[in-house]
């Protein structure tokens, strides 16, 4: 919300505080200032100097300061024609000291061209030579210095300014025409110089989406007094109650509805000061009636709606106008004042009369009964020139006549309902912003009165006595008991009841000390204070904010440390990551979201129900939660395919549907390796590519790092995406925990990879984790080992693992290591045969002799001969 400081000062004395200081206080109290926009007032030096200043500045700062000497209030006394240019006028401007001829092309002064001396001078913002302003003709905001020039033979030293040139608005079509009472000669910065704070309003601070709300916060933060507005105006004529009645059908949805009447208004532009404040607050100035509703809303926080009373009267015929509120029928239609016909549902609330619907409650008015300014219509339709503020006559539209009598609505709505409706019809508005966050019903009355007061002041007219006010559901004022002990227990500070009361009173809480308790009653603009234990937290938050978070001390927890229990699952996975990193794998973390099509590249297309589906995906390629972690890792490998060596892993969850309940989230490990086995160097070229055994070696290290034994690898011929001859299952204690191998050529084809084989592995971590470590650390033997190599020739079909198992089994515990160091295939050793060469280590508690080793060796050879038909190779 954009808050002009000048407006804030209507309600609180901010003397001696700079815009930055005010912004700092608000920001620390939860009203974060995103930007300070200077519109005339002097800017802090740091901001002006930019980034190289040594002083700290805390806010994004923008805007322009107006030179007090050079930019002043002046008056146009005479309007002449330019001798050489049809589109320019020549003004005689008096700046309080001297007269000056000034050129302008402003369209809103053009109709006076050649008038000569004006009966009533026009007050303007006047900039002298050397002033720094925004270039009115440039796109966007471009600073320029006003220089002497000759335009079409006439000397030009100075100018009358537009809003764009002064930084009040981004665009403007004409010069500023100030209010008649503007003091000629006064520095413009003193007259209308301003700074605007752009404040983010948190969802629980809707009460502060108003000028008075911010002023109230500042009162609490500075200890200064909040000057509440005096709402007073004269009334005349018949009471509004004589001609209008109100009926609320659902008080939950519409706790209160207030309406007031003003007769015989004259629709015209609002005073310039009002227009300027509205514009700085980010609201277009329309006319005095619409502006009055917006101005009162920004000021107090109560959105108002103005009806054309005569339209309502015409619809009511001879009867009293009966305004009712009800929910819409499904399919009912209403054309809102943006001209869109809206199809409604039964959750939408309507404001109606006997003839039908008038507006979408709390969100947007209907077009039929909106306040109508005939002058705009005429201008748009015919391009007829009018003098500012002058009402042209003419009936060229269906309505034809400007609104004369206004019925002004202020109401309270259910914030959840308004939120749903605004979302449903995609109608974010100033009104729905506030109503969807909660506006207290007490503001309805204040708002209507304030609106009527402004209308009477700016549009003439007579306010009818009384208001019609239906108030079926009055919210209970929350009452909360607070003790010093509560404050100590939850905030950690020592405050007396008086001190607590003082902090809260600034925010308009009513406080009464009753014994050792402070009875706190929430003010009637607040909907966010509950009762009981929640109310206590609500009130203590206000105490803390007013006291200042910065003033609360920092302490260490006095409570004893809870028993430390650790998180074995998390710790195990972290250990696993360390092991994977230690064998040279790079960890990646990928999106949980994918699509069945993406996963089908690897695992083939399954059923739609195989995936956990996202109801509102951000894109079709992220429509489901992943089931295959390996696909995710392969996609990243593919993306990095230009790297010479890729060795990636991911540890994370996949998601398996579980009917309409929460899905299962098993944890998986996926590994992908491809490319060069070694890092290349200037003397290492054409390193071999990763293959099956590079992966297997890493997995062996991994499993041994997890202290697992009883590991076996068996050929896995039926994993569809793996090469049938280069794939294995990993079993621990006979249970399959993972699979690995070379990607099947047909699967590989679906990715964009180079020539190198793609080696992948996938493990089920929930299975793996539950296996208990089976070995401890052994003592290192002191006795010398005996090393011996044996090579045996076996049929090619005999698995190496079987041979090794036989060796270990036969050798018993004396054979402490069996390492295959060569596999040799050659016709010399026989067709269909292979030679397996093992290096054996014999070791026992005592020093062994060669003879003892030889005896074991002979046993082993014999066993191999008998069992797998091996022949010792000489």
Partner 1 sequence: MLDKLNEIEKSALESLAAITDQAALDAWRVSMLGRSSELMQVFAGLGKLSKEEKPVVGTEANRVKVALESALAERAEAIKNAALAKSLEEEKLDVTLPGRSVNIGRLHPSTQQLRHVLDILAEMGFQVYTSREVETDEYNFQLLNFPPDHPARDMQDTMYIEAGDRGDNPILLRTQTSPGQIRAMREFAETNPNDPPPIRIASPGMCFRHEQITARSEIQFNQVEGLAVGKNITFADLKGTIADFVRRMFGEGARLRFRASYFPFTEPSAEVDVECFVCGGKGCQVCKNSGWLEILGCGMVHPVVLQNGGYDPKIYSGFAWGMGPERQLMLRNKINDIRYFWGNDVRFLEQF
For partner 1, the binding residues in 573-602 under the rule CB under 8 A are: 574, 577, 580-593
Q: How far is the CB of 76 from partner 1 (least distance, A)?
A: 41
Applying CB under 8 A, which of residues 36, 146, 182, 625 lies at the interface with partner 1? 625
Applying CB under 8 A, which of residues 612, 730, 743, 794 lies at the interface with partner 1? 612
Q: Which of 84, 160, 87, 167 is nearest to 122 (CA)?
A: 160
Q: Which CB sits closer to partner 1, 60 or 228? A: 60
Q: How far is the CB of 67 from partner 1 (least distance, A)?
A: 25
Residues within window 188-227 making contact with partner 1, judged by CB under 8 A: 202-206
Applying CB under 8 A, which of residues 2, 68, 622, 871 lies at the interface with partner 1? 622
- Give the x/- contact pattern for partner 1 in 657-676, rule: CB under 8 A: ---xxxx-x-----------
Q: Walk across the sheet containing 364-365 and list its strands.
A: 244-248, 321-327, 349-353, 356-360, 364-365
- Are the C-beta atoms of residues 126 and 93 closer than 8 Å to each other? yes
Q: Which of 57, 43, 36, 1 is nearest to 197 (CA)?
A: 36
Applying CB under 8 A, which of residues 228, 395, 489, 770 lies at the interface with partner 1? 489
Applying CB under 8 A, which of residues 416, 513, 796, 800 lies at the interface with partner 1? 416
Residues within window 277-296 making contact with partner 1, judged by CB under 8 A: none
User: d(Cα 526, Cα 512) in Å, to the nearest integer?
Assistant: 18
User: d(Cα 656, Cα 627) in Å, to the nearest integer?
Assistant: 7
Applying CB under 8 A, which of residues 120, 145, 426, 618 lies at the interface with partner 1? 618
491 binds partner 1 (CB under 8 A): yes
- Give the x/- contact pattern for partner 1 in 421-450, rule: CB under 8 A: ---------------xx-------------
759 binds partner 1 (CB under 8 A): no
558 binds partner 1 (CB under 8 A): yes
- Give the x/- contact pattern for partner 1 in 527-546, rule: CB under 8 A: ------xx-xxx-xx--xx-
Angle at CA 112, nearest 5°, toward 109 and 117?
115
Part of the chain binding partner 1 (CB under 8 A), chosen from 328-336, 473-481, 617-625, 838-846: 617-625
SS3 730: strand
Applying CB under 8 A, which of residues 144, 636, 861, 868 lies at the interface with partner 1? 636
Applying CB under 8 A, which of residues 97, 223, 485, 549 lies at the interface with partner 1? 549
- Are the C-beta atoms of residues 865 and 871 closer than 8 Å to each other? yes
Separation of CA 388 from chain center: 43
Applying CB under 8 A, which of residues 340, 552, 801, 855 lies at the interface with partner 1? 552
777 binds partner 1 (CB under 8 A): no
H helix intervals, 383-476: 415-424, 430-435, 442-459
Cα dihedral 217, 223, 226, 227 sign? negative
821 binds partner 1 (CB under 8 A): no
Q: How far is the CB of 91 from partner 1 (least distance, A)?
A: 41
Rounded to whole angstroms, what are the CA distances from 125 to 100, 147, 670? 14, 17, 71
Applying CB under 8 A, which of residues 150, 570, 685, 778 lies at the interface with partner 1? 570
Part of the chain binding partner 1 (CB under 8 A), chosen from 307-315, 466-474, 632-640, 739-747: 632-640
Q: Which CB sits closer to partner 1, 613 or 769? A: 613
User: d(Cα 816, Cα 785) in Å, to the nearest integer?
Assistant: 9
Q: How far is the CB of 619 from partner 1 (least distance, A)?
A: 9
Q: Which residues of 516-549 are buried (b: 16+ CB within 10 A; e: fewer)?
A: ebbbbbbbbbbbbbebeeebbebbbbbbbbbbee
Q: Which CB sits closer to partner 1, 401 or 639? A: 639
Residues within window 677-706 making contact with partner 1, judged by CB under 8 A: 678-679, 681-684
Please provide the DSSP assignment of 584-596 as one string. Answer: TPEE----SEE-H
Q: How far is the CB of 532 from partner 1 (least distance, A)?
A: 8
Count CB atoms within 10 A of the CB of residue 612: 19
248 binds partner 1 (CB under 8 A): no
Please provide the DSSP assignment of 615-679 as one string. Answer: SS-SSGGG-EE-S-HHHHHHHHHHHTTTSSEEEEEEEEE--EEETBEEEE--EEEEEEEEEBSS-
553 binds partner 1 (CB under 8 A): yes
User: d(Cα 407, Cα 561) in Å, to the nearest integer?
Assistant: 65
* Block residue for tokens 């000021």: 299
Q: How far is the CB of 640 from partner 1 (least distance, A)?
A: 5
Report CA Rg, the chain.
42
345 binds partner 1 (CB under 8 A): no
Q: Which of 389, 413, 405, 378 is nearest to 310 (CA)?
A: 405
User: d(Cα 89, Cα 117) in Å, to the nearest integer?
Assistant: 13
Q: Which of 209, 432, 452 is nearest to 336 (CA)?
A: 432
Q: Within the chain, what is the greatest distance between any pair of CA atoms?
A: 133
Applying CB under 8 A, which of residues 415, 454, 458, 753 lies at the interface with partner 1? 415
607 binds partner 1 (CB under 8 A): no
Q: How far is the CB of 203 from partner 1 (least distance, A)?
A: 4
Applying CB under 8 A, which of residues 336, 645, 674, 835 lies at the interface with partner 1? 645
Q: Compute φ and ψ for 216, nearest 5 degrees.
A: -65, -45
639 binds partner 1 (CB under 8 A): yes
User: d(Cα 224, Cα 246) in Å, to the nearest integer?
Assistant: 41
269 binds partner 1 (CB under 8 A): no
Count CB atoms within 10 A of the CB of residue 450: 26
- Are the C-beta atoms of residues 288 and 459 closer than 8 Å to each other? yes
19 binds partner 1 (CB under 8 A): no
Q: Which CB sits closer to partner 1, 57 or 863? A: 57
613 binds partner 1 (CB under 8 A): yes
Q: Which CB sits closer to partner 1, 27 or 273? A: 27
Part of the chain binding partner 1 (CB under 8 A), chosen from 414-422, 596-604, 725-733, 819-827: 414-422
Q: Which CB sits closer to partner 1, 506 or 744? A: 506
770 binds partner 1 (CB under 8 A): no
Q: Which CB sits closer to partner 1, 200 or 335? A: 200
Q: How far is the CB of 835 from partner 1 (least distance, A)?
A: 32
Residues within window 44-103 making contact with partner 1, judged by CB under 8 A: 46, 51, 53-61
Q: How far apart are the first and last CA of the chain?
A: 93
* Block residue for tokens 């997890």: 706
Q: How far is the CB of 553 from partner 1 (least distance, A)?
A: 5
646 binds partner 1 (CB under 8 A): yes
User: d(Cα 404, Cα 203) in Å, to the nearest integer?
Assistant: 38
27 binds partner 1 (CB under 8 A): yes
Applying CB under 8 A, which of residues 132, 490, 848, 868 lies at the interface with partner 1? 490
Q: How far is the CB of 741 from partner 1 (least distance, A)?
A: 21
User: d(Cα 644, Cα 674) in Å, to the nearest integer?
Assistant: 8
560 binds partner 1 (CB under 8 A): yes
Number of residues that bind partner 1 (CB under 8 A): 109
H or E element that contains 769:
helix 765-770
349 binds partner 1 (CB under 8 A): no
Q: Which CB sits closer to partner 1, 565 or 779? A: 565
H or E element that contains 155:
strand 154-156
Q: Which CB sits closer to partner 1, 558 or 780? A: 558
311 binds partner 1 (CB under 8 A): no
């Amino acid at each position: 919300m954009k808050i002009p400081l000048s407006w804030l000062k209507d309600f609180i004395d901010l003397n001696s505080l700079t815009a930055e200081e005010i912004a700092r206080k608000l920001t620390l109290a939860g009203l974060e200032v995103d930007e300070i926009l200077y519109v005339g007032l002097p800017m802090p030096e740091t901001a002006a100097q930019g980034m190289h200043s040594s002083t700290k500045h805390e806010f994004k700062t923008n805007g322009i300061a107006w030179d007090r000497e050079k930019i002043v209030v002046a008056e146009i006394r005479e309007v002449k024609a330019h001798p050489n240019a049809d589109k320019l006028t020549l003004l005689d401007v008096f700046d309080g000291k001297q007269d000056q001829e000034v050129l302008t092309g402003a369209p809103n002064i053009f109709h006076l061209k050649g008038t000569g001396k004006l009966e009533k001078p026009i007050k303007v913002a006047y900039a002298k030579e050397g002033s720094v302003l925004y270039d009115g003709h440039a796109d966007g905001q471009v600073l320029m210095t006003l220089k002497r020039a000759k335009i079409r033979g006439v000397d030009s030293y100075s100018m009358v300014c537009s809003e764009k040139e002064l930084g009040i608005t981004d665009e403007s079509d004409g010069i500023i025409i100030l209010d008649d009472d503007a003091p000629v000669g006064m520095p413009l910065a003193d007259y209308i110089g301003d700074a605007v704070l752009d404040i983010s309003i948190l969802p629980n601070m809707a009460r502060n989406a108003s000028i008075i709300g911010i002023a109230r916060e500042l009162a609490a933060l500075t200890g200064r007094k909040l000057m509440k507005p005096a709402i007073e105006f004269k009334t005349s004529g018949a009471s509004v109650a004589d001609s209008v009645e109100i009926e609320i059908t659902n008080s939950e949805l519409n706790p209160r509805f207030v309406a007031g009447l003003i007769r015989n208004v004259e629709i015209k532009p609002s005073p310039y000061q009002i227009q300027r404040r509205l514009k700085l607050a980010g609201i277009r100035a329309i006319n005095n009636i619409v502006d009055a509703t917006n101005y009162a809303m920004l000021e107090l926080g109560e959105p108002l709606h103005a009806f054309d009373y005569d339209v309502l009267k015409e619809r009511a015929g001879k009867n009293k106008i009966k305004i009712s509120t009800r929910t819409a029928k499904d399919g009912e239609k209403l054309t809102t004042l943006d001209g869109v016909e809206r199809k409604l549902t039964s959750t939408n609330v309507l404001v109606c009369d006997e003839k039908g619907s008038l507006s979408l409650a709390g969100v947007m008015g209907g077009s039929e009964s909106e306040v109508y300014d005939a002058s705009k219509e005429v201008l748009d339709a015919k391009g007829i020139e009018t003098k500012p503020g002058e009402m042209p006559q003419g009936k060229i539209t269906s309505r034809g006549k400007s609104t004369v009598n206004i019925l002004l609505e202020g109401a309270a709505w259910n914030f959840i309902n308004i939120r749903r409706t605004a979302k449903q019809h995609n109608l974010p508005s100033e009104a729905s912003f506030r109503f969807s966050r909660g506006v207290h019903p007490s503001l309805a009355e204040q708002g209507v009165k304030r609106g009527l007061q402004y209308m009477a002041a700016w549009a003439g007219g007579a306010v009818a006595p009384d208001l019609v006010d239906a108030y079926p559901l009055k919210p209970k004022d929350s009452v909360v008991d607070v003790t010093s002990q509560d404050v100590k227990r939850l905030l950690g500070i020592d405050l007396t009841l008086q001190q607590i009361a003082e902090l809260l009173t600034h925010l308009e809480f009513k406080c009464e000390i009753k014994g050792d308790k402070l009875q706190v009653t929430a003010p009637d603009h607040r909907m966010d204070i509950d009762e009981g234990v929640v109310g206590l937290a609500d009130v203590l938050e206000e105490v803390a904010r007013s006291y200042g978070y910065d003033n609360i001390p920092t302490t260490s927890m006095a409570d004893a440390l809870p028993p430390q229990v650790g998180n074995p699952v998390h710790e195990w996975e972290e250990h696993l990551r360390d092991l994977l990193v230690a064998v040279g794998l790079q960890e990646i973390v990928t999106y949980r979201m994918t699509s069945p099509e993406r996963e089908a590249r690897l695992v083939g297309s399954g059923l739609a129900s195989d995936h956990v589906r996202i109801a509102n995906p951000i894109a079709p390629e992220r429509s489901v939660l992943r089931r295959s972690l390996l696909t995710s890792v392969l996609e990243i490998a593919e993306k990095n395919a230009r790297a010479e060596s890729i060795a990636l892993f991911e540890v994370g969850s996949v998601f398996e549907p579980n009917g309409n309940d929460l899905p299962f989230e098993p944890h998986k490990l996926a590994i992908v390796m491809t490319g060069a086995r070694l890092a290349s160097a200037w003397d290492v070229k054409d390193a071999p590519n990763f293959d099956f055994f590079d992966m297997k070696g890493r997995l062996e290290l991994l499993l041994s790092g997890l202290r697992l034994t009883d590991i076996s690898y068996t050929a896995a011929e039926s994993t569809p995406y793996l090469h049938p001859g280069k794939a294995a299952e990993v079993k621990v204690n006979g249970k399959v925990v993972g699979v690995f191998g070379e990607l099947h050529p047909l699967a590989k084809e679906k990715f964009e990879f180079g020539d190198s084989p793609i080696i992948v592995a996938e493990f089920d971590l929930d299975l793996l984790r539950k296996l208990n470590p089976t070995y401890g650390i052994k003592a290192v033997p002191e006795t010398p080992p005996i090393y011996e190599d044996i090579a045996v020739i076996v049929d090619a079909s005999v698995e190496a693992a079987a041979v090794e198992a036989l060796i270990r089994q036969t050798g018993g515990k004396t054979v402490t290591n069996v390492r295959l160091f060569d596999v040799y295939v050659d016709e010399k050793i026989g067709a269909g045969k292979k030679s397996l060469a093992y290096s054996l280590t014999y070791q026992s508690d005592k020093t062994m002799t060669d003879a003892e080793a030889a005896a074991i060796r002979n046993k082993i050879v014999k066993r191999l001969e008998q069992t797998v038909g091996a022949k010792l190779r000489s």
